[in-house]
Every structure is written in C-alpha cells, then in structure tokens.
C-alpha cells in the first residue's frame, strides 16, 4: 500500500513538472518572427542579415533566457497597462522621464516597461550601426526583435497575463505557444517590404495599444469556448521525453484560433514587419552604413565562449525561473 502511494506521488510530481515545463515554451514564435523579418528588408540590408539569419533566429530568445539572471530584465518584456486605470493611455505619459515623475521608477518597473525598452534598444542598435560594430548590430537586432514580438502579444499588456484573475490559468502559453506551434506552419509570413518609422517611441506605444485593445477578446473568447466545448476533448496528452504532458487539444486550439479570426497569425505578421522596420529605421538613422564592409566578419573568441557558457547555463536550468509570461 505504501509502495503504491509512493508511485502515485511520483507520478503526481512528474505530472506537475510537465505542466510547469509546458508553460515555459514559446520560443517558436520569437524565432520565426526574427527569421522572417530578414525577408522584409531592402536589398542594402538583406545580404548581411540573410548571411546571419541563423544567429538572429537562435538568439531571438536570449532576452527570455536571461530575464531572471539579469536584474531589471524581466520588466522589459511586458507592460501591465490596466494597472494605470480604465483608460491607461489617458494616464501614462509616453516619455520615460514624464512617466517617472508621475509614477516613480519603482512603479514603472513593477508594471513593466516594454515600450520604453524598445526605444532604448533602438538607440543602442542605431549606435552599433554608426560604429559599424558587427557583434552589437547582430546582438541588438536579435534583442529588439524579441521585445517587439513581446509587445505584440495581448497578454503581455495586462495584469491578467495568465488568466489568473479569471480562472483561465495557462492561457498565456496556450495563446502564444500552443496555438502557433500547432497551426503556425499554415500561417502566411510573407509580409512585403518594411517601412521607415518616424517616431520609434510613438510606434512602440501604438503596438502595445493594439495589443491591449485585443486582450479582452483573447480572454473572453477562451472563456466562452471553454463553457461550450466538451470537457473531455479540451485537453490531450503528448509525450515529451519520458513524460506525458497535458496540453490543450488540437481541436480546441483550432476552434479558439477560428473564434479569434487567426489573431496569433495577424499579430505575428505585424511583428515581422515591425521588427524589419525598426532594423531598417536604425540603419537609416545611423547614416546608412555599407553593410557589405562587414561581410566575412565573425564573432570574437571571447563572444563565442560567452555564448557557449550561456547555452550551458540555460540547459542546466540555472537560468530558468518562473516569471510573468509563464
């Protein structure tokens, strides 16, 4: 009897771990966004970015990997707009200094700072282009792609980011990982050419406003679907290594995506064009340096070592900590 209880307990623990691991997915979309953004660039930039497309794809998720290893990083991925009242855009000043003066930096950091962080990354990327600093151009291009992708996710713009306030726990991973991973191969990612962005900060605010305006649908439609969908068909199990994982079923994911009129696809397409547009704008603002001069360059030994170390840390789980976008 005791033995049986032990087995049951072990199974329960494995099951709980599986549920937790599942919520930490979500890399597919970021990587696809950075990758496809390369194809929206003009010819003067395309060659350089295409040559490094695998770096930009792989490192699209670096900011998530370091979010709890680096102080202040976590706040860069989201903004809980509804913390600022019913009409947050009437309350929050767009400029960082004005917002700090009104709310204090601590408050802003606690509620997330993604639009301001996009502007900061834009500044860094523009400088990297000015200095023709090969490593920084790639690093900041990859990073800004990640933050722009995050800003397009409706659940990155609300305090109810995982449905925890409305008994929809797990909706974050469902919307941004499970749905695109199941259906994403059918998505149309050909977006056309990127554009110049006159005011990057204003554009970052426009992005989070669009996301925020969509967050009610993300939550409401799931609640509605859940109430009428046969409970025994809502979840399925998949094998991951030795572990069986409970996931939203394909049928449920497809029904949800249909209700949302392929919102995930639309937000990903928008992300792709915007990532390319921010890269392009930084390049223009830096004086359009000749990227051909950088061809044939490679990362320094020290940088390669550092990247290897980060990868090992990540694989060992030293960088994995639960967070906002669980």
**Number of amino acids touching Zn ion (CB under 5 A):** 3
Q: Does 62 bind Zn ion (CB under 5 A)?
A: no
Query: Hey, what's the torsion of the CAs at 45, 50, 52, 55, to 10 degrees?
Result: 120
Question: Minimum Å distance from CB 237 to Zn ion?
Answer: 27
Q: Is 77 in the site for Zn ion (CB under 5 A)?
A: yes
Contact flag: residue 64 with Zn ion (CB under 5 A): yes
Residue 14 CA, chain-centre distance (Å), reads: 27
* Residue 37 or 45 having the CB closest to Zn ion: 37
Question: Residue 122: what are its φ and ψ, rounded to 5°?
Answer: -65, -40
Q: Is 10 left (phi over 0), alpha (psi -120 to 50) or beta?
A: alpha
**Token code pair at residue 14:** 């494995």
Four-point Cα dihedral 72, 113, 151, 93, nearest 10 = -170
Cβ 67 to Zn ion, closest distance in Å?
Answer: 7
150 binds Zn ion (CB under 5 A): yes
CB of 131 to Zn ion, least distance (A): 27
Identify which of residues 77 and 248 has a Cβ nearer to Zn ion in the complex: 77
Closest contact distance (angstroms) between CB of 264 and Zn ion is 16
Q: Among residues 77 and 269, whose Cβ is nearest to Zn ion?
A: 77
Min separation Cβ 95 and Zn ion, Å: 24
Of the ranges 2-10, 72-80, 86-94, 182-190, which one interacts with Zn ion (CB under 5 A)?
72-80
Reference 189, options 109, 251, 270; nearest CA is 270
Binding range to Zn ion, per CB under 5 A, among 5-13, 44-52, 62-70, 82-90 = 62-70
Separation of alpha carbons 148 and 29, rounded Å? 12
Is 92 within 8 Å of 84 (Cβ atoms)?
yes
Contact 155, 311 (CB under 8 A): no
Closer of 250 and 326 to Zn ion (Cβ): 326
Can you give the binding site for Zn ion, defined by CB under 5 A? 64, 77, 150
């Amino acid at each position: 009897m005791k033995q049986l209880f032990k087995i049951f307990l072990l199974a329960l623990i494995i099951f709980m771990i599986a549920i937790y691991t599942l919520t930490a997915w979500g890399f597919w979309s970021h990587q696809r966004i950075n990758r496809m953004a390369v194809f929206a660039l003009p010819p003067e930039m395309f060659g350089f970015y295409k040559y490094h497309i695998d770096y930009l794809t792989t490192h699209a998720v670096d900011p998530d990997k370091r979010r709890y290893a680096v102080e202040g990083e976590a706040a860069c991925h989201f903004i809980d707009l509804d913390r600022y009242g019913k009409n947050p855009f009437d309350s929050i000043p767009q400029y960082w200094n004005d917002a700090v003066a009104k709310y204090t930096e601590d408050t802003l950091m606690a509620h997330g700072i993604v639009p301001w962080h996009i502007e900061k990354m834009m500044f860094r990327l523009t400088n990297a282009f000015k200095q023709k600093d090969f490593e920084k151009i790639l690093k900041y291009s990859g990073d800004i792609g990640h933050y722009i992708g995050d800003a397009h996710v409706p659940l990155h713009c609300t305090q109810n980011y995982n449905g925890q306030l409305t008994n929809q726990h797990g909706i974050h991973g469902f919307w941004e990982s499970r749905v695109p991973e199941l259906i994403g191969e059918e998505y149309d990612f050909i977006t056309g050419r990127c554009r110049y962005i006159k005011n990057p900060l204003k554009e970052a605010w426009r992005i989070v406003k669009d996301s925020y305006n969509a967050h009610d649908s993300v939550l409401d439609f799931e609640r509605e679907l859940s109430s009428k969908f046969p409970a025994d068909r809502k979840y399925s199990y998949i094998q991951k290594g030795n572990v069986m994982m409970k996931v939203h079923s394909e049928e449920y994911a497809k029904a949800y995506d249909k209700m949302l009129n392929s919102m995930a696809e639309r937000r990903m397409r928008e992300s792709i064009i915007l990532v390319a547009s921010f890269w392009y704008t930084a390049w223009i603002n830096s004086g359009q340096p000749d990227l051909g001069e950088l061809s044939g360059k490679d990362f320094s030994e020290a940088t390669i070592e550092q990247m290897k170390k980060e990868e090992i840390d990540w694989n060992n789980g030293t960088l994995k900590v639960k967070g906002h976008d669980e």
